[in-house]
């Protein structure tokens, strides 16, 4: 069974194609500059690489171009479109819905209802999924929601202290996101260490950042709450914020609520604090050169990470492993160093040399550290491919539409 996992940006379409018999990555590729006069469609199979240039007006045309490339006799990783069992999406949020679902009009409506809760993600996904469903009516589309892994979070960690019925009637609670990544960290760490009973603190630090407390493979808490704008500061999204600052801001700035929410969702986080960039590499470079607000943005980011790290050490009564993943978690030795400094009392110690030189999957703790510390490149697409396969097989077994 072949499953394509799609990752959508406003003008980009990226995919990974898996053969689920051996859970093998068969091809990766995508389209850049959708909607521009000249878009680039690319595809990589092992060491081989193909590329075409030409107009690609929308996301449905992007999938069409990619399938065309995958079916091309030179590439030939698909024999026909029927070779593809389905397309999986790492969907973010929907009103009253979590788990893994076939994309139906009802699912799209539930996602649409939360456009304003997940403004950077939902509108792009809903628009593209609608186009794909129209253009490829035979192709099963599957939405694997990022909130799914966090269904095991108990009420004490899940509920906000608001009128109780808001949670029950309106779903106002800490949902948690980055579920595919934290689930991957849970299963991969258990496999690497050869045991399932583990307390893991998973730090996914990238464009979006979150920390998850995992006990015996299950999520117990996540720094992301009702929306993907919460928790740690993100590249340009705010993170935790006191809503009672809003009346003061409305009055002082003269902006509307929508404009302020847009500031919090697009011009805050590392970008807002530094006034310089939303990219950690730029901030590290600038801070080294003496840029004060770049240093400040890094300090706030590190403080927030340590805040959740401390909370989750309490929650789990310690930890067996701390995992760093995501573009920042995997690549920034200095950020990892700053997060882990002065934690001797918890017996959390980095090996400086390992931390500086490690690449890929690697332990980076000192020999005397009771808590292991690992770098672990995440593989969210593999999790979505598994979830897509499992749903399609379940539906086929229960007399639903067949899958190849």
Query: By the criterion CB under 6 A, which residues form the site for ligand ADP?
Result: 206-208, 235, 279-281, 326-328, 331-332
Within 8 A by CB and 6+ apart from 307, the residues are none
Q: Are 333 and 356 in contact (CB under 8 A)?
A: yes
By beta-carbon proximity to ligand ADP, the closer residue of 58 and 279 is: 279
Q: Which residue is nearest to ligand ADP (CB)?
A: 327
Q: At what angle do helices 333-340 and 280-288 cross, to 10 degrees?
A: 80
- To ligand ADP, the closest distance from the beta carbon of 221 in angstroms equals 20
By beta-carbon proximity to ligand ADP, the closer residue of 220 and 237 is: 237
Q: Which residues on neighbouring strands pair with residue 375, listed in sequence order?
A: 324, 362
- Separation between Cα atoms, residue 324 and residue 34, nearest integer Å: 33
Exposed e or buried b for every residue in 66-81, given b needs 16+ CB within 10 A?
bbebbbeeebebbeee
- To ligand ADP, the closest distance from the beta carbon of 137 in angstroms equals 30
By beta-carbon proximity to ligand ADP, the closer residue of 29 and 326 is: 326
- To ligand ADP, the closest distance from the beta carbon of 120 in angstroms equals 10
By beta-carbon proximity to ligand ADP, the closer residue of 152 and 285 is: 285
By beta-carbon proximity to ligand ADP, the closer residue of 67 and 238 is: 238
- To ligand ADP, the closest distance from the beta carbon of 294 in angstroms equals 12
Within 8 A by CB and 6+ apart from 265, the residues are 119, 120, 229, 236, 237, 238
- To ligand ADP, the closest distance from the beta carbon of 276 in angstroms equals 12
By beta-carbon proximity to ligand ADP, the closer residue of 235 and 369 is: 235
- To ligand ADP, the closest distance from the beta carbon of 235 in angstroms equals 5
- To ligand ADP, the closest distance from the beta carbon of 209 in angstroms equals 8
By beta-carbon proximity to ligand ADP, the closer residue of 32 and 279 is: 279
């Amino acid at each position: 069974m072949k499953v394509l996992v799609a990752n959508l940006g406003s003008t980009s379409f990226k995919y990974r194609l898996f053969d689920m018999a051996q859970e093998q990555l068969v091809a990766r590729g995508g389209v850049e500059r959708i909607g521009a006069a000249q878009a680039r469609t690319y595809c990589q199979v092992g060491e081989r690489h193909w590329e075409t240039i030409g107009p690609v007006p929308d996301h449905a045309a992007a999938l069409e171009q990619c399938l065309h490339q995958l079916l091309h006799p030179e590439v030939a990783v698909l024999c026909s479109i029927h070779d593809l069992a389905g397309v999986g999406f790492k969907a973010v949020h929907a009103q009253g819905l979590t788990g893994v679902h076939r994309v139906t009009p009802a699912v799209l409506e539930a996602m649409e209802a939360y456009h304003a809760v997940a403004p950077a993600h939902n509108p792009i996904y809903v628009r593209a999924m609608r186009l794909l469903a129209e253009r490829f009516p035979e192709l099963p589309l599957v939405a694997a929601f990022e909130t799914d892994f966090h269904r095991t979070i108990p009420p004490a960690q899940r509920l906000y202290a608001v009128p109780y019925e808001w949670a029950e009637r309106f779903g106002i609670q800490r949902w948690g996101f980055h579920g595919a990544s934290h689930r991957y960290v849970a299963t991969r760490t258990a496999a690497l260490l050869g045991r399932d009973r583990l307390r893991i603190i998973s730090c996914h630090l990238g464009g979006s950042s979150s920390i998850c407390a995992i006990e015996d493979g299950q999520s117990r808490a996540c720094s992301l709450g009702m929306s993907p704008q919460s928790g740690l500061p993100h590249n340009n999204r705010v993170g935790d914020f006191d809503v009672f600052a809003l009346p003061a801001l409305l009055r002082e700035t003269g902006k509307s609520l929508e404009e302020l929410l847009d500031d919090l969702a697009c011009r805050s986080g590392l970008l807002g604090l530094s006034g310089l960039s939303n990219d950690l590499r730029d901030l590290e470079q600038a801070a080294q050169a003496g840029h004060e607000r770049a240093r400040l943005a890094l300090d706030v980011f590190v403080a927030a990470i340590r805040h959740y790290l401390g909370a989750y050490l309490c929650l789990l009564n310690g930890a067996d492993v701390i995992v760093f993943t995501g573009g920042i978690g995997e690549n920034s030795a200095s950020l990892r160093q700053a997060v882990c400094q002065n934690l001797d009392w918890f017996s959390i110690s980095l090996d400086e040399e390992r931390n500086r030189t490690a690449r890929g999957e690697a332990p980076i703790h000192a020999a005397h550290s009771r808590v292991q510390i690992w770098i672990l490149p995440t593989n969210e697409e593999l999790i979505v491919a598994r979830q897509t396969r499992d749903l399609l097989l379940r539906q086929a077994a229960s007399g639903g539409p067949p899958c190849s």
